[in-house]
Amino acid sequence: MDKFVTPPNHIHFKAKKLFGEIGTIIDGSIAYIDLHGGGPTQLHTHEHNHLFIVTKGEARILLGEEEITLKKDEAFLVKGTIPHAVWNHASEETVMLGISVRD
């Protein structure tokens, strides 16, 4: 992932690009995932994609046969047609944004 930088003409300001152009945003949500929480309990699919952004803690994304660990200040686009679920992977509450995106 990219590192935080201070843009020109900014003071005491650090920014990190999480994603670029990605499609049409359908909606967005924030989730507070308790210890050992997540879901759904069975992997699911749908036509839209999810852009997940972790703002606190760490998330484990089950993605078909693969697992992705997403840490604080990281983003990942989940293709909705691949079976998936999201679980807290930290020893504290995990907070993440979920943005539904259409190609």
Is the pLDDT at 2 greater than 70? The verdict is no
Q: How far apart are CA 94 and CA 62, in angstroms?
A: 16
- Domains of the chain (ranges; CATH) run 24-102 (2.60.120.10)
Q: Which residue has the tokens 């945003």?
A: 25
Q: What is the pLDDT of residues 64-74, one digit of tens each?
A: 999 999 999 99
The whole model's pTM is what? 0.89
Asked if 55 contacts 84 with a C-beta cutoff of 8 angstroms, the reply is: no
Is the pLDDT at 42 greater than 90? The verdict is yes
Is the pLDDT at 103 greater than 90? The verdict is no
Q: What is the pLDDT of residues 81-97, one digit of tens each?
A: 999 999 999 999 999 99
Is the pLDDT at 76 greater than 70? The verdict is yes
